[in-house]
Amino acid sequence: MADPAAPPRPAPDPVDARFGSPLTEGLRTYRLVVAMWVRSTLTYRASFAMALCVAVVANGLDFVAILLMFSHVDRLGGFTLGEVAFLYGTSATAFGLAHLTVGSMDRLGRRIRDGSLDTLLVRPVPVLAQLAADRFALRRLGRITQGALVLAYALTVLEIDWTATRLLMVPMMLVSGAALFGALFVAGAVFQFYAQDAAEVQNAFTYGGTTLLQYPPTVFTRELVASVTFVLPLAFVNWVPASYVLDRPLPLGLPVQAAFAPPLVAAVCCVAAGLLWRVGLRAYRSTGS
Amino acid sequence: MDATERPVADLPAQRDGQEVIHLDRVEKVFEVRRRAGLLRREKREVRAVDGLSFSVGRGEVVGFVGPNGAGKSTTIKMLTGILTPSAGTLRVAGVEPARDRARLARRIGVVFGQRTTLWWDLPLLDSYQLIHRMYRVPDARYRENLDRCVELLGLGDLLDVPVRQLSLGQRMRGDIAAALLHDPEVLYLDEPTIGLDVVSKANVRHFLADLNAERGTTVLLTTHDLTDIEQLCRRVMVIDHGRLMYDGEVAGLHRIAEVERTLVVDLATEMAPIALESARTVKVEGPRQWLAFPAGQPAAPIVAEIAAGWPLVDLSLREPDIEDVISLMYAGRSAG
């Protein structure tokens, strides 16, 4: 290897031959790093179980607030308890899934400040995958569990005329919703490339977004509903498709076809977030901070 | 074969056949914006690296030194693909760093003295296993490299310890091992001995010298500690204000600026200045005396000589700092 008489290496390098495309390497790295954190978390089973219970209870209190509200009124913005529980359950579960998979992105600002982002940039795998998998917190399953319980409650009390389309709509909402929130986490992280203490702003949109969606669109002003439909399309997480499932008119008088748009909207948002991420990372690499 | 014993004459020959690092008129300009009023913003250009050109041949160990803010870190960041240069061309191991960052990362190892590349909360061995998979190092090769590093860097007892619980010296050794598991062609070390005790420093230097001699790994080392340079490198580059001020043999640096270490000795009583062949007494203050000697020379014989001839109570050694050398270079330049 160190023989000075050896000719320069031929073109197709054996080192590069070991690696796949950036997407393959990114997904693989994500899996590897997540698996490592999960193993490390499960080393302390008791402490993990406790953290998970705390997460379920703490998030559960959130829904208790809604229950308390319904002890005084029968309807909220024209929605029954079951219907609000449906909105709550879909929003919380979709957000929980995104929070679990890419919620660590909000540490980007701190990593830029302390310079540790550079250590990710010298590894042969996409930074986004490394950052998303970093400190993967299994206790975030607590939020998903709580959201799923509320959703299950909603599905038992609601008297819905279950057609195949309505039935398929529920998992579709959760997957698209998780992708939408995931895109929001990534886009929010990009913001931290430019303003390094912007984690709070990001939280306002992500955590704030999920809280907003837990209430019926009818309690908010038309302008607010329009902005979360057309500007930051969070309404596609549940408000728009849920209206179809609950057999209600769509918000803003949208045509019924809009209820089937979430997968498309989510895909567009993910691509946009990915492009934004590239722009942000490029900006970081040309300025250093 | 010991790297330090190779004749100096083989240097240029090494360079034209097997160039590993090449920079041609590389510049990095930062635009610093600051608020100069309620809405008005002032733009200011900071030229961190200003037309830097050099090349490093395969198997060289090169010291890259300069005062704080000289452009060292910016250059290293461009060489590792972290930063994109504003102008000029760079090639490392046949790859253009800014364009092909991931491909470059497969071929280089990076150790940042100030921050770890390891996973802070995970045991050291977990970090190594992740690196093994992430760099797709063939299993046998990984085993071999890990065993070697564990043995030579004394990591055996530390593998199960979470990185955050390691001392600075242990963590540094852990980081060096992490940077070498994938057989990098080039190893960048940014202040690898900063904050380490004397024994840890010696261990790290010894390991690096062996690595270069046995594997032919090219090493680029930034440091404040001139002893690192003296003991590891034959070639040194001095950078200041983003420009190369000196590029050549370490010995040549001494000709420009005589670099000295200082031995501070406490004698039992106040005495006349110690007279030695190998060191000159530069200062006497009561029972304490300061002796300067060339940085390349070992301290032990001098200490032995003093201990034999004088009532020695205590002593300490002050290493020369790179800032000293640079100021000496400036002084020498303006005088000559």
ipTM confidence score: 0.83
Tens digits of residue pLDDT in B73-116: 899 999 999 999 999 999 999 999 999 999 999 999 999 888 88
What is the pLDDT at residue A26?
94
B308 and B213 in one domain?
A: no
Domain boundaries, chain A: 22-287
Q: Which among B11, B18, B210 is the top mutation candidate for probing chain A, defined by the most A β-carbons within 10 Å of its own β-carbon?
A: B18
Per the CB < 8 A criterion, the answer to whether B299 and B263 are in contact is yes
pLDDT tens by residue, chain A, 289 residues: 445 555 555 556 788 888 999 899 999 999 999 999 998 888 888 989 998 888 888 888 889 989 999 999 999 999 999 999 999 999 999 999 999 999 999 889 889 988 889 999 999 999 999 999 998 999 899 999 999 999 999 999 999 999 999 999 999 999 999 999 999 999 999 999 988 777 788 888 889 999 999 999 999 999 999 999 999 999 999 999 999 999 999 999 999 999 999 999 999 999 999 999 999 999 998 876 5
pLDDT at position A5 is 54
Both tokens assigned to B296: 């390349």
pLDDT at site A197? 73
Chain A positions touching chain B (beta carbons under 8 Å): 1-4, 8-9, 13, 15-16, 18-19, 22, 25, 28-29, 32-33, 36-37, 39-40, 114-116, 118-119, 121-126, 135, 282, 285-288
Measured at the CA of A108, the angle between CA B90 and CA B48, to 5 degrees, comes to 35
> pLDDT under 70 in chain B at which residues?
1-17, 35-38, 254-258, 321-323, 330-336
CA separation for the pair A28, B179 (Å, rounded): 20
Q: How far apart are CA B15 and CA B57, in angstroms?
A: 4
pLDDT score recorded for residue B3: 40
Record: contact B84-A282, CB cut-off 8 A? yes
Domain that holds residue B207: 3-256
CB atoms A119 and B116 under 8 Å: yes
State the Cα–Cα distance between residues A138 and A84, nearest whole angstrom.
27
* C-beta of residue B325 within 8 angstroms of C-beta of residue B315: no
Residue B327 lies in a domain: no
At residue A95, the pLDDT reads 96
State if pTM tops 0.90.
no
Residue of B219, B189, B214, B232 whose CA lies nearest to B57: B219
Where among B226, B256, B286 does a domain terminate? B256
Q: Name the residue of chain B whose CA is nearest to A135's CA.
A: B121
Closest Cα of chain A to B30: distance in Å?
A: 6
Claim to verify: residue B302 and residue B267 sit in the same structural domain: yes
Contact B84 A29 (CB under 8 A): no
Domain co-membership, B123 together with B66: yes
Specify if B52 maps to a domain: yes
Say how far apart CA A26 and CA B134 lie, in whole Å.
10
B302 and B163 in one domain? no
- Assess whether B40 and B135 both reside in one domain: yes
CATH number, position B55: 3.40.50.300
Q: How many domains does chain B have?
A: 2
Q: What is the pLDDT of residue B17?
A: 53
Q: Look at residue A15 in the predicted model and tell me its pLDDT.
A: 85
Write down the pLDDT at residue A114.
Answer: 87
